Copies of this chain bind each other. A is one copy, B any other.
Amino acid sequence: MTSTDPVPLPDYAGEAPGHGVERVDVVVVGAGLAGLTAARALTARGLAVVVAEASDRVGGRTKAREVEGSLVDLGGTFVGPTQDRIIALADELGLDRFATFDAGSNVISWRGAIKHYRGTIPPIGPIGLADIGRIQFEIDRLGRGIDTAHPERSPHAAKWDSHSLTSWLRSIHALPSSHTLMSIVSGTTWGCEPGEISFLQVLRYIAMAGGISRMLDTAGGAQEEHFRQGSWQVSARMAAELGDRVRLATPVTAVDWTDDGAVVTAGPARFRAARVVLAVPPALRARIAFSPALPTPYSALTQRWPQGILSKAYAVYEQPFWRDAGLSGQALADTGPVTITFDASPHDGSRGILLGFIGGDHARHWDALPPAERRIQALSSFAEVFGEKALTPLGFTDQLWAAEAWTGGGPTAAPAVGTVVSTAPYLREPVGPLHWAGTETAEAWTGFMDGAVRSGERAAREILRALRPFAEVAP
């Protein structure tokens, strides 16, 4: 077979004839960053691709909304150094980046007092600082020993998987202040409490991001820049290129597969394909009726990588008034519901926009409130650190990722204690014609937009190697 031969399609026995089954080479399930990246790469190599998206929009965990004339990123927002794949892709698609506003003092609401500080080290007292310093050192040190692509193969994998972040912090006698700070990190990074996530996943995730500083920092870190046109445009522009290959409001309900191919059922539509890319979060794989059923470890995996719970609140003001007070717009709070705040104003400073993260237990409670009450609580959080002006924005919006039916939570999965070693080997290992994508399957920057793009590229490479064995496939 040469690269110009048509891909042989499976002669699928289970299919009733004459029911308008559409033949393609590859069905991609999910039009998020991962799925669209895979579809784009496969289409570029001449394969016939359909992207079946359950919801009525593309973008997955990126989403845009206009508030008082300003665009806000309701999901994935920031990019930073070494996130090379999302940056290359966005460059290629003509998007512009600009630096996250980072001048001035940060604010922390801590143990009932408000303090201003410069840089990344919050003023929580010398003992508290020494303790969080040694914890950061230790997590980074342990992380360097982790096989991030195959965490189950790491030294002491079972031991770290038997700990949650909380139980590990207890085991090293962390101070209460460090428990609080790590709880804020956990809530916004994984959308869960520190007791809900396997410490093996914590180590792996942070190691993939290049350490705690790079993961949490603005300048030089994962929050360094954002897109002028909004991150959702990455997906929107890929979808525009793909045209009618992208089918919205087409939830895949069943995948009947053999070693040779699959028939994908999405409502009344059916597609016959040689390969399928499942570019949805691991938990959402469970939405699909596979026939035959997925092998035991794969089926177990779909039930053991729950999505975190993360919500975002955006308030739009006439001006970024905090800048006048010498503040960066960045804040930490041990109160909540908002525990971390960023300045997400437009690049020209034409408006002032505060972005607040509400994660884990805070989100469990806050999500259940009526919209007006959610707004009051979020604005109160902003006012706590930036003053009363924050209470009267021009506009306000929020996004509850756990209420997003076809996402199931955010920002990423938070596998619990004792579940990573037994499930991680199956995250991206293909099953017959089924390939897996999505940021949870990434070998670098898992949980970030960059990981999503990488996973889509990897899934496309797997398929090209299988269907175009004599063609050159980019590594």
Contacts and interface: CB of A to CB of B under 8 A. Distances in A.
A158 B293 CA distance: 36
A413 to B, nearest CB: 9
A172 to B, nearest CB: 15
A303 B409 contact: yes
A403 interface: yes
A54 B288 CA distance: 13
Interface residues of A, number: 51
A392 interface: no
A303 B164 CA distance: 18
A195 B161 CA distance: 9
A112 B234 CA distance: 60
Interface in A226-281: 251, 253
Interface string A149-183: 00000000010011010110000000000000000
A162 B163 CA distance: 9
Contacts of A225: none
Interface in A118-160: 158
A418 B296 CA distance: 24
Given A195-B162, A291-B405, A303-B409, A309 B296 contact: yes
Interface in A270-320: 283-284, 286-287, 289-293, 295-297, 299-300, 303-307, 309
A380 to B, nearest CB: 20
B418 A164 contact: yes
Contacts of A251: 253, 289
A343 interface: no
A306 B286 CA distance: 11
A307 B303 contact: yes
Interface stretch (A1-9, A58-66, A360-368): A360-368
Given A286-B408, A287-B289, A303-B408, 19 more contacts: A158-B195, A161-B195, A162-B166, A162-B167, A166-B418, A193-B422, A196-B418, A253-B253, A284-B286, A286-B286, A289-B405, A290-B405, A292-B403, A296-B368, A297-B364, A299-B409, A303-B305, A303-B306, A306-B419
Query: Nearest 7 A-B pairs (CB), nearest first?
Result: A303-B306, A416-B416, A417-B417, A296-B367, A195-B418, A296-B402, A196-B418
17 contacts: A162-B167, A162-B195, A166-B418, A167-B167, A193-B422, A196-B419, A196-B422, A251-B253, A253-B253, A287-B287, A290-B405, A296-B309, A296-B368, A296-B403, A299-B403, A303-B409, A416-B416
